[in-house]
Structure 1
Amino acid sequence: MMNTERAIEKSIKSKPKGTLFFPEDFREYGSGVAVRKALQRLKEYGTIKSLAQGIYVRPKINPLIGEVLPTADEVAQAIAKRDKIRIVPTGTYALNALGLSTQVPMKLVFLTDGAPREIKLGKRSIKLKKTTPKNLAAKGSISALVIQALREIGKDHLSTAEKFRIIELLKSENPRHLKHDMDLAPVWIRQIMEKAL
């Protein structure tokens, strides 16, 4: 048991502070039970902090503001990588990520091809919503966000300023990706995207 704990601690300390960990990352060091017990003890010692069930971080300390924890987005990306699933931000979060809204939602909603679920991170949460492959087929990171952000705003509520901002953002997207992604968007969104080419 002690060997499992020591091996896990050594592995964690070899990674930069702020790194996220899952029990699955330490399969090679012992059984599932041994790994969970070791992580529980390392949490008690303060070596790691639990963010949610089965999600840990090696805390990063800022001399001015104290403990700096990973953002909900970083946690979502780490879960996607672990589970080998695709995720796309939706709604208010897509608007925020594009700089079209200053509102930071307490619940981050992502479309996914993985299992639907909700992960609580203190006061915030990550919701993974099952969707069709088409909704995850976008190749461009900006165009994928734009499609979701425009769906959130709605055709009749889009301001001229927002429209111009979106076209400007899309100009920095890879043109090949943009052309590919336009075919996935509803007609009214496609017409906006075309203006960026």
Structure 2
Amino acid sequence: MKSVQQEISGQISAFQPGTIVFPTEFRGVGTDDAVRQALSRLAKEDKIERLAHGIYFLPKIHPTFGKLYPSMEEVAEAVAAHEHMRIRPAGAYALNKLGLSTQVPARLVYITDGQARQIKIGKGGIKFKPVTPKKFGMKGPISSLLIQGLEEMNTSQVTLAMEDRIKDLLSQETPDNLNYDLKLAPARISDYIIKLLKYPLNGRVA
């Protein structure tokens, strides 16, 4: 009869390199404690690698660059899929994805309809911030991301260059989606976007 570690090792050997693995995937193989101990031993044997508490991955080796690690985005998406929750980028991370900021935040923040959670990975990490269902009611792929980004910053700090980029982004959103999302946005963000589109702001330093 195979041990818990042998059973898990056999299952993992069938995974594609780079696959992110969670202990709960092996429920039924053994007790939770036995599964965690088996994964810990497999990590010591370099058959898998520990990314964070309760998160492992099957190493992927590049002939030139060596061991390739999954990005924090990939980890966040894997956690969301595993826990059956929705996530959307927020704050500085949302602004970066829209090209409104060149700074890549060390910690990626997502809004979620799941539970609050923080995951530390190296010097960075991921934060899942629970929000009301209304936040996920937004329809526009661009407008919803923009609203999430602007919500966590002072709009008086938006430069002329950023305003030009915002207007360009909003021109790519359908009017129906934009109008719908503005009704769900915080009043100050809705007012700012409406004013920006109808009455371009002047006098700021680009």
Q: TM-score, length-normalised on structure 2?
A: 0.80
Q: Which has the larger radius of gyration?
A: 2
Could you tell which deviates more after superposition, 155-164 or 42-51? 155-164
**Of the candidates 169, 194, 199, which is equivalent to residue 191 of structure 1?**
194
What's the counterpart of residue 47 of structure 2? 47
Q: Which runs of 4+ in 1 moved over 6 A?
A: 192-195
Could you tell which deviates more after superposition, 5-14 or 45-54? 5-14
Query: Relative to 1, partners in 2 of residues 1:45 and 1:134: Cα closer, same or farther, differing over 3 Å?
Result: same
Q: Could you list the runs of 5+ residues in structure 2 that have no partner in the other structure?
A: 199-206
What's the counterpart of residue 16 of structure 1? 16
What's the counterpart of residue 5 of structure 2? 5
The answer as to whether partners of 1:88 and 1:112 remain within 8 angstroms in 2 is: yes
Report how far residue 191 of structure 1 moved.
2.1
1:87 aligns with 2:87: yes
Could you tell which deviates more after superposition, 90-99 or 46-55? 90-99
Distance 1:27 1:174 in 2: 45
Q: 1:183 is paired with a residue of what secondary structure?
A: helix
Structure with the higher helix share, 1 or 2: 1
The answer as to whether partners of 1:182 and 1:194 remain within 8 angstroms in 2 is: no
Q: 1:165 is paired with a residue of what secondary structure?
A: helix
Q: 1:167 is paired with a residue of what secondary structure?
A: helix
The answer as to whether partners of 1:183 and 1:190 remain within 8 angstroms in 2 is: no
Distance 2:18 2:155 in 1: 40
Q: Work out the percentage of aligned pairs sharing the same amino acid.
A: 45
Report how far residue 130 of structure 1 moved.
2.5
Matches within 5 A, 1:45-194: 45-173=45-173, 177-185=177-185, 186=187, 187-191=190-194
What is the number of equivalent residue pairs in this alignment?
A: 195
Q: Partner amino acid for 1:188?
A: D
Query: Relative to 1, partners in 2 of residues 1:68 and 1:123: Cα closer, same or farther, differing over 3 Å?
Result: same
Distance 1:179 1:56 in 2: 42
Distance 1:99 1:14 in 2: 39
Report how far residue 165 of structure 1 moved.
2.0
Distance 1:144 1:193 in 2: 17
Q: 1:29 is paired with a residue of what secondary structure?
A: coil
Q: For the aligned residues, what is the CA RMSD? A: 2.5
Q: 2:108 is paired with a residue of what secondary structure?
A: strand
The answer as to whether partners of 1:4 and 1:34 remain within 8 angstroms in 2 is: yes
